[in-house]
Amino acid sequence: MWLGIPASTRAMLLENVYCRHCRVTTIVDFRGSVKRGYVVLEGQCGKCGADVARLID
Ligand SMILES: [Zn+2]
């Protein structure tokens, strides 16, 4: 599913992840999974390393 998303959209999603410490940040070392029909990216904040997740709907 992730690969079916246009690259430009993927880049936008990766750079618009909410971190509770840094607010909007970039996700790194992420992996994708599917939960309840949605693709969820789980990884670390690119600034502080905290766990972050991004739901793609
Ligand atoms: Zn952070």
Domain ranges of the chain: 2-56
Could you report the per-residue pLDDT of 27-38, keeping only the tens digit for each? 999 998 888 888
Q: How far is the CA of 28 from the centre of ligand 1 (A)?
A: 11
Residue 57 binned pLDDT confidence (cut-offs 50, 70, 90): confident
pTM to 2 decimals? 0.81
DSSP-assigned states of every residue in 1-57: -GGGS-HHHHHHHHT-EEETTTEEE-EEEEEEEEETTEEEEEEEETTT--EEEEEE-
Strand partners, 44: 28, 51
| Confidence bin at 3 (pLDDT 50/70/90) | confident
Matching residue, tokens 């992420």: 30
Question: Mean pLDDT across the chain, nearest whole number?
Answer: 92
Query: In angstroms, what is the span from residue 24 Cα to ligand 1's centroid?
Result: 8
